[in-house]
A and B are shown apart, each in its own frame.
Chain A
Amino acid sequence: MPETAALSHHGQDRHDAHKLPWVNKYVFSIDHKVIGLQYLFTSMFFLLFGFMLIMLIRWQLAFPGKPIPLIGGLLSQALAPGGIITPEFYNALGAMHGTIMVFLGIVPMGVGAFGNYILPLQIGAPDMAFPRLNMMSYWLYVPGGLLMLASFFLPGGAAQSGWTSYPPLSIINPGQTVWLVGMLFLIFSSLFGAINFLVTGLNMRAPGMSLWRLPVFVWAQLVTSVLLLLAFPPLQAAAILQFMDRVAGTSFYIPEGLIVGGQALAASGGGQPILWQHLFWFLAHPEVYVLILPAMGIVAEIIANNTRKPLYGYKEIVYSMFFIGGMSFVVWAHHMFISGMSPALGNFFLVTTMIISVPSVAVLTCLVFSLKGGSIRFTTPMLFALAFLPLFGIGGLTGLPLGLTVTDIYLHDTYYVIGHFHYVVVTGTIIALMGGVYHWFPKWFGRKMNDAWGRVHFWTTAIFMNGIFFPMFIQGLAGAQRRLYDPTAQAHNIVTQPLNIVSSVSAWLLFLAQIPFLVNFFHSIFKCEKSEENPWRATTLEWACPSPPPHGNFDKTPHVYREPYDYSPEGYLSDWRPQHQEAGARP
């Protein structure tokens, strides 16, 4: 049995754990829990940093051409002379906001932090299958992130061609080379992580943990890993080609005869700009599901736990995730309906795009039906999980007119698109991740976060997020284009310009609303009330070991006897029966 082999090896490790020097225990650690927390803190930093970038943009959008108050003077004169950000800096802020939020914030948190910490525990494993590879994933992510941060201080500044980096713009614009190198680090990091998660999830399961006894969160991580593994290599190849176009004079994406600023571009030509878009979106559409699937997994865990009732349609949810994962590879060109690719191809991607919405509806429906007949505890994590349902619903619904070729002609590249994907990723994924932090905090640190402040954080966050993104639908329908440095430079933005102020003020308030969260989070790590080992009365295996778990996790390998969510079983006094509880025994 591979499990026993791994266990005995780790039994050894655990014995030696307290002898490890500090640097091997907390910095270059091979313990999945330490690496998970490293990912957690790093990705929290990047989420806040990416958020700060967009708050500068929100000032320029609300009050174009006015100097930024308070912090405007702190920015360098090259970026913001007199506190007014330049168009170059504006474009850099936009490109880096997208890059940082997706590749350095949300994926590392959803997969790197939650996946790393929770997945091995939920399957009853002592660690990841490849602990050193796991460490390497994190230590590739860090330099990738540092390169992205450093690019702001290099001559030419950070990348400014959008997070999508469409050539030829990305080839003639400054800053892109460092972006590409940074991306290569991040892609390697994700690829190694994906391999590790797949091997761990399939091979390190505790005895009795059959596939149909895996918690939904584990399934979500496994499907996510398949997506990362298959979708990232094309982008990696594409990024290397773009890198060559920039530094080695190749023309993979450059057609001949370009005239830039009145001068002929020194390039041999013969390339095709749209090739990049195909390769990029071949990753970046599955990437959307990489962002959302772990969130769905987290929400499923929290809902099952707080309704005190098994999930409705567990298998339907899992099969839907498989279906989403598979289909996500054949919908990418719905980002490209008007890109110049053959319009006939549009019909194919229209059909696949409509089909992929059905399993998402199925997952959402199952989660809502799970509430029926439950005994719902409105705990703080549950509030976040419940908010996910309608808000992700809005994100999904507003995808409809964008996925439909005809209506996309008008809505493409307007604020409607920004509203749509932020409803999916912010009020969807980030809300779910926040819920996950409250839910698993006792596991991580052995203490509970303050509940009253958690509720304050929830309500303010939910309200301000809607305040930012809902106005964007109205702006988009009115014709407002995205990525404009000065939104009042064109007529279509002027009437709805007051909405930019609503969005911006909401964004700044959303930032203030995170202060109670951050204080609560860091204060609770050291000071708050000690938590019981299983404060939520949860059935899954991560609660079958001490909180926080010691090196090697479980005292003895747990044996799994039942499905993951055996809440309120018939004929039982208590309303939960853990997965590792032997049949007949009463908790």
Chain B
Amino acid sequence: MEKLINNYGWGLPVAASTVAGGIDFGIRIIHVAMFVIFILWAIFFTYLLIRYRRMDGVKADASHGRLIWSLAPDVVVLIFEISLIVLYAIPAWSRIKIKFPTPDESHNLEIVAEQFGWIIQYPGADAKFGRRSPALVNASNPMGLDPEDPAAKDDVIGVNELHLPLGKPTLVQLTSKDVIHSFFIPEFRIKQDAVPGMKIPVWFEPTKAGQYELGCAQLCGVGHAIMRADVFVHEAADYDAWMTRQRPQFSPQE
């Protein structure tokens, strides 16, 4: 926790994924625009209040200027918003949420959310995810991994610890066992609801080795606040070394 706090401050947290820069750019530019609009508006508003305060012997002027003046702010806002949509939001949104890296070029994971934790399935050396079945879920097999499936033999299961390599995108298939949760790594600026009955793809590519925080952003019950996981981003070689140290779910030693 001590280490994680250093990622956070009074502004946006440390940016540690390839998409974070683009999202931060949008947040900053919108806030600058909001600030300028509000200040200009407030100056005009204050001027009106002082200039047209009630004065003895002065009657209000019942006539109004041309309506065209009041359309000016509408037009300015409309132009600003259209440019945001066309130049920024639609391209950036499709880069983050619509176009996905192929499984071949990615580090592939399956993540299942539950009350109140995150279960991560690594495919192991065969790069294939073992079959899962809700009927097989128990305390020692939180994923419900099927021991009959050869692809499951080398699968590694992690609970509340997510390990990621640098240098390639991570492609997650996200789902939930019970209620809706939300996968949120603030340092990566990535968020996606985990919905039971659905498998939703999420991708991100870390840019800095280090430790980050995965929280649940959707109210999921009494333990919502404590539903978190540590995210460790390793250099590619360190990641491979870490992986070889992990025991598969159905390792012979057990």
Residue of B45, B58, B64 most packed against chain A (CB within 10 A): B64
Whole-angstrom CA separation of A316 from B97 in the bound complex: 38
- Is the Cβ of B27 less than 8 Å from the Cβ of A339? no
With an 8 A cutoff between CB atoms, is B4 at the interface? yes
> Which residues on A sit within 8 Å (CB–CB) of B84?
354, 404
Q: Is B213 an interface residue when CB atoms closer than 8 A count as contact?
A: yes
State whether A490 touches B190 (Cβ < 8 A). no
Given contacts A273-B180, A489-B228, contact A361 B77 (CB under 8 A): yes
Q: Which residue of B lies closest to A491 (CB)?
A: B4
Residue in B1, B44, B52, B217 whose CB lies within 8 Å of A491? B1
Q: Does A487 contact B (CB under 8 A)?
A: yes
In the complex, A281→B211 CA distance in Å? 36
Contacts A262-B137, A568-B60, A568-B62; is A362 near B70 (CB within 8 Å)?
A: yes
Contact with B along A324-345 (1 / 0, CB 8 A): 0000000000000011100110
Residues of B within 8 A of A203 (CB): none
Chain A nearest Cβ from B50, distance in angstroms: 9
Quick check: is A212 within 8 A (CB to CB) of the other chain? Answer: no
Question: How many residues on chain A are close to B (CB under 8 Å)?
Answer: 103
Does the CB pair B138–A262 fall under 8 Å? yes
Chain B, residue nearest A359 (CB): B74
CB within 8 A of A570: which of B26, B62, B81?
B62
Return the chain A residue nearest B114 by Cβ.
A259
Do the beta carbons of A490 and B225 come within 8 Å of each other?
yes
Q: Which residue of B lies closest to A277 (CB)?
A: B180
A409 vs B12: C-alpha distance when bound (angstroms): 14
CB distance from A30 to the nearest CB of B (A): 40
- The answer to whether B134 and A257 have CB atoms under 8 Å apart is yes
* A255 to B135 Cα, complex, angstroms: 15
Contacts of B186 in A (CB 8 A): 410, 479, 492
Residues of chain A lying within 8 A (CB to CB) of residue B179: 166-169, 172, 260
Specify which of B38, B71, B78, B220 is in contact with A393 (CB 8 Å cutoff): B38
Beta-carbon nearest neighbor of B48 in chain A: A371
User: Is B159 on the interface with A (CB-CB < 8 A)?
Assistant: no
CA gap between A264 and B114 in the complex, in Å: 13
One of B87-95, B121-129, B235-243 at the interface: B87-95
Say yes or no for A155: interface residue by CB 8 A criterion.
no
A-B contacts, 21 listed (Cβ < 8 Å)? A86-B222, A91-B224, A167-B179, A168-B178, A169-B219, A258-B134, A258-B178, A343-B98, A358-B74, A368-B45, A378-B53, A393-B41, A394-B38, A397-B34, A406-B88, A409-B96, A413-B184, A489-B225, A491-B8, A568-B59, A569-B62
Q: Which 7 A-B pairs have CB atoms at the shortest separation, nearest pair first?
A: A255-B197, A491-B4, A479-B186, A373-B61, A257-B134, A343-B97, A484-B225
Interface residues of B (CB under 8 A from A): 1, 4-5, 7-13, 22-23, 26-27, 30-31, 34, 37-38, 41-42, 44-45, 48-49, 52-55, 58-65, 67, 69-71, 73-74, 77-78, 81-82, 84-85, 88-90, 92-94, 96-98, 114-115, 134-135, 137-139, 144, 177-180, 182, 184, 186, 189-193, 195-198, 200, 213, 215, 217-226, 228
Q: A362-B74, A404-B30, A404-B84 are in contact. List 16 more A-B contacts (CB 8 A).
A: A87-B224, A94-B219, A167-B179, A169-B219, A169-B221, A260-B179, A273-B196, A346-B93, A358-B78, A361-B73, A365-B73, A375-B53, A477-B27, A495-B9, A567-B60, A568-B62
